[in-house]
């Protein structure tokens, strides 16, 4: 008997359909599983097991404390996932008991891992099987009684299931994938459990500190701080907007003049206006414009967010549902390419799509089929199964149609042809201006793709024509960086070390030339750098986890999403600033180093233990007590630490969230010492000195004045006020 364990009940039902369509006997529904034709199909509910808590290792219980921190288990332990109330989840227990019974049945000779085809799905089912003990039973020859196999499904259509069942590989071939999954799980636990507790105990506020969530929040924080602190600078350029042959021609000089040099731009305008503007070249040619690439998950989410303001969480939920219903391939893919082995499958899909009226034809191109740019899964595409309108909600149909139309555009049977024109105008030999225009003369894929560009019509100029000009000074100002959007944040997270030129540009829209505005890219961008970043582990999060982590940051109140724009919230500012004060360096560099280690585990270059040790070493630095001179000390102690006696009412002053305050505040005592003064953390030791006999601190270095200059000073208590002492 072959026992197949699906990750979810919906997948189990699809596997049953695949078995029955493949000629197997009809399967009967039992209590927690299906059985028939030599197969048993059961399921998990996603994660049935979770890592044990610190208390499970230390034997302690109750409120969080520093006892047992940092916690670095010699071996990581799992337990059945508890319910929301932290108590036993009877449904989880019952389903695992079913799985254990089925795996250890005397007639079971094969167990199949049918988790989702990714790291997480790999270890979800492995953990279930490992805890049944079924693989530990040996036959009379001392060999395992049961074979352990993997069912790898690129989509959930019955045909794919039937084919995959005949091609199952030994589970051992997926050991490296599982090792990376376990290493990722252990490392995320180490960071989350140790640093979340530490930061929460320090501040008295629950701070969710994770390997990926913090760099994501930090990126949004740093961008928003750059926008908030941006001071625009004024400059001048020479601009001409005159009509020639009844068409206005805008010429914007690339020569910039500072705000205090208005006479300079006036002189340039006069010099240009005293000259002639002549068309020195005109090039017109017909070119083929190529469609965009197939979708990875993040590229699909980018488009849905930008065009329809759909959040990543909503779009992923819909794509996942369409996958589970067999309409789309596996969604959590980081590739925009198809595998060369999939050509026959794609031909069948193309035929089905052609049958419903789309003009598609099979194309065998490197821009479509490229094994070198696939890690685990190919691009997201429709399957041969096509939904009827009444089967999907309006949003589900919108998402499905978006994927379908991109697929159609890639395999469109008609080329997209454009007439491109480039005109160069020379002004007195001083400066040349380029005008570009594109006219679509045969739409091809643009009938289906969402990225259609508007035509730009140029005036009917020919080489040798004179262009009317009247240059005048035009005031411009530099623009601040732009807030992260769904698209730009996703692009940043996929490759955080690639410069975001669009965000950092100081061009205003008015300052862009006609060439900037009208150009249409006719070749797919060179994405080698992005795929190298993905395969090396430089990305922050993965396609499988990124959406959930960003959504967690939203639910935690650290960031907000309005339409498709992310901004930082006060709690997010507090998180990043407090971690900085605690010298917890959770940035893209540290996260990427660990990401690279995880990829080395996947390649078999290092062990799970090696990667975990890297994380432990980083975490240990946070807890390491260093002797720091008092003038440089920034340690603000732990929430609730007693600082001293209140000079107003005689009660205790304790460490709070934002200050060292008197516990008598409920009775009206308002005494407090700000824990941050002039951007400088005031250490617990200095606060205690301030409330001591001398009523002043030692010299403190690192204060920042309003104009950004660093200075040193003592603090002293003047009545109930904290003031600077520069003596």
Task: Give the 3-state DSSP-derived string for 410-442, with helices as H, strands as E and coil as C.
Answer: HCECCCEEEEEEEEEEEECCCEEEEEEEEEEEE
Other Cβ atoms less than 10 A from the Cβ of 13: the count is: 17
At residue 396, the pLDDT reads: 97
Phi-psi region of 246 (alpha: psi -120 to 50; beta: other; left: phi over 0): left
Question: Which residue pairs from 502-507 have beta carbons closer than 8 angstroms and sit at least 24 positions apart in sequence?
Answer: 503/223, 505/479, 506/478, 506/479, 507/479
Give the whole-angstrom CA distance, residue 287 versus residue 280: 23
Contact 424, 433 (CB under 8 A): yes
Token pair, residue 64, equals 């969080």
Give the whole-angstrom CA distance, residue 463 versus residue 278: 8
Contact 353, 125 (CB under 8 A): no
Token pair, residue 148, equals 């352990």
At residue 536, the pLDDT reads: 86
At residue 24, the pLDDT reads: 65
Other Cβ atoms less than 10 A from the Cβ of 678: the count is: 16
Contact 6, 44 (CB under 8 A): yes
Nearest Cα neighbor of 497 from 538, 450, 554 is 538
Give the whole-angstrom CA distance, residue 215 versus residue 635: 22
Give CA angle at 122 (190, 589), nearest 5°.
40
Cis status of the peptide bond prior to 388, with omega within 30 of 0: no
At residue 722, the pLDDT reads: 94
SS3 267: helix
Q: Which residues of the chain have pLDDT under 70?
A: 22-24, 450-454, 499-525
- List CB contacts of 607: < 8 A, sequence separation 6 or more: 179, 601
Give the whole-angstrom CA distance, residue 253 versus residue 266: 13
Question: Which residue pairs from 509-514 have beta carbons closer than 8 angstroms and sit at least 24 positions apart in sequence?
Answer: 510/476, 511/237, 511/252, 511/476, 513/252, 513/254, 513/433, 513/434, 514/250, 514/434, 514/435, 514/436, 514/456
SS3 31: coil
Contact 135, 144 (CB under 8 A): yes
At residue 537, the pLDDT reads: 85
At residue 521, the pLDDT reads: 39
Q: 680: which strand partners?
A: 677
Other Cβ atoms less than 10 A from the Cβ of 726: the count is: 8
Nearest Cα neighbor of 487 from 310, 305, 335, 332 is 305
Length reported for the chain: 727
Nearest Cα neighbor of 338 from 285, 425, 276, 407 is 407
Q: Pairing relation of β-strands 33-36 and 28-29?
A: antiparallel
Other Cβ atoms less than 10 A from the Cβ of 210: the count is: 21
Give the whole-angstrom CA distance, residue 559 versus residue 576: 12
Rg (CA), the chain: 32
SS (H, E, C) 570-631: HHHHHHHHHHHHCCCCCCHHHHHHHHHHHHHHHHCCCCHHHHHHHHHHHHHHHHCCCCCCCC
Give phi and psi for 21, each to the nearest 5: -70, -30
Q: Pairing relation of β-strands 110-114 and 659-662?
A: unpaired
Phi-psi region of 555 (alpha: psi -120 to 50; beta: other; left: phi over 0): alpha
Give the whole-angstrom CA distance, residue 653 versus residue 659: 10
CA atoms within 13 A of residue 447's CA, in its CB half-sphere: 15
Contact 113, 129 (CB under 8 A): yes
What sign for the dihedral angle of Cα 385, 391, 393, 394? positive
Contact 636, 683 (CB under 8 A): yes
């Amino acid at each position: 008997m072959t026992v197949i364990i699906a990750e979810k009940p919906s997948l189990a039902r699809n596997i049953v359909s695949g078995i029955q369509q493949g000629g197997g006997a009809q399967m009967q529904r039992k209590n927690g599983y299906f059985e028939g034709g030599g197969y048993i199909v059961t399921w998990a509910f996603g994660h049935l097991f979770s890592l044990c808590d610190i208390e499970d290792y230390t034997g302690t219980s109750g409120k969080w404390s520093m006892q047992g921190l940092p916690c670095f288990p010699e071996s990581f332990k799992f337990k059945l996932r508890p319910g929301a109330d932290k108590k036993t989840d009877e449904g989880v227990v019952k389903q695992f008991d079913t799985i254990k019974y089925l795996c250890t049945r005397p007639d079971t000779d094969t167990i199949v891992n049918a988790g989702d085809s990714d790291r997480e799905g790999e270890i979800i089912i492995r953990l279930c099987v490992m805890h049944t003990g079924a693989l530990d039973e040996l036959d009379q020859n001392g060999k395992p009684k049961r074979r352990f196999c993997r069912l790898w499904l690129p989509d959930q259509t019955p045909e794919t299931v039937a084919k995959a069942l005949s091609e199952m590989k030994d589970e051992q071939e997926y050991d490296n994938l599982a090792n990376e999954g376990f290493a990722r799980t252990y490392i995320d636990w180490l960071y989350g459990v140790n640093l979340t507790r530490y930061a929460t105990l320090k501040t008295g506020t629950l701070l969710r500190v994770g390997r990926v969530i913090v760099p994501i929040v930090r990126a949004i924080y740093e961008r928003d701080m750059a926008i908030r602190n941006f001071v625009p600078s004024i400059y001048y350029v020479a601009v001409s907007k005159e009509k020639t042959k009844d068409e206005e021609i805008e010429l914007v000089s690339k020569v910039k003049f500072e705000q205090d040099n208005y006479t300079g731009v006036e002189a340039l305008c006069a010099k240009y206006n005293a000259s002639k503007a002549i068309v020195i070249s005109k090039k017109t040619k017909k070119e083929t414009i190529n469609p965009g690439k197939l979708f990875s998950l993040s590229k699909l989410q980018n488009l849905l967010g930008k065009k329809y303001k759909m959040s990543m969480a909503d779009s992923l939920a819909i794509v996942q549902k369409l996958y589970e219903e067999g309409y789309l391939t596996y969604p959590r893919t980081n590739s925009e390419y198809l595998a060369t082995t999939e050509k026959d499958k794609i031909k069948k899909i193309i035929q089905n799509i052609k049958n419903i009226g789309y003009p598609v034809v099979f194309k065998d191109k490197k821009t479509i089929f490229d094994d070198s740019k696939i890690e685990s899964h190919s691009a997201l595409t429709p399957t041969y199964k096509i939904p009827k309108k009444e089967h999907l909600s309006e949003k589900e149909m919108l998402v499905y149609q978006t994927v379908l139309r991109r697929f159609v555009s890639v395999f469109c049977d008609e080329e997209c042809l454009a007439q491109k024109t480039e005109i160069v105008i020379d002004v007195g030999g001083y400066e040349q201006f380029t005008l570009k225009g594109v006219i679509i003369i045969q739409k091809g894929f643009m009938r289906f793709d969402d990225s259609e560009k508007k035509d730009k019509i140029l005036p009917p100029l020919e080489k040798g024509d004179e262009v009317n000009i009247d240059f005048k000074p035009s005031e411009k100002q530099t623009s601040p960086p732009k807030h992260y959007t769904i698209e730009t944040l996703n692009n940043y997270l996929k490759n955080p070390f690639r410069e975001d030129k669009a965000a950092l540009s100081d061009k205003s829209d008015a300052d862009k030339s006609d060439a900037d505005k009208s150009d249409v890219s006719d070749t797919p961008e060179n994405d080698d750098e992005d795929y190298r970043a993905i395969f090396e582990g430089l990305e922050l999060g993965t396609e499988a986890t990124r959406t959930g982590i960003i959504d967690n940051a939203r639910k935690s109140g650290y960031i907000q999403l309005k339409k498709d724009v992310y901004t930082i919230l006060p709690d997010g500012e507090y998180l990043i600033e407090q971690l900085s004060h605690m010298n917890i360096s959770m940035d893209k560099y540290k996260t990427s180093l660990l990401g690279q280690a995880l990829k080395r585990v996947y390649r078999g270059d290092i062990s799970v233990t090696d990667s975990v040790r890297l994380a432990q070493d980083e975490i240990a630095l946070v807890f390491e007590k260093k002797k720091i001179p008092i003038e440089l000390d920034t340690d603000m102690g732990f929430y609730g630490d007693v600082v001293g006696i209140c000079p107003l009412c005689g009660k205790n002053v304790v460490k709070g969230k934002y200050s060292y305050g008197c516990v008598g505040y409920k009775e009206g005592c308002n005494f407090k010492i700000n824990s941050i003064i002039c951007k400088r953390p005031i250490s617990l030791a200095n606060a205690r000195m301030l409330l001591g006999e001398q009523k002043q601190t030692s010299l403190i270095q690192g204060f920042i004045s309003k104009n950004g200059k660093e200075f040193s000073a003592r603090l002293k208590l003047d009545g109930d006020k904290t003031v600077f002492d520069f003596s």
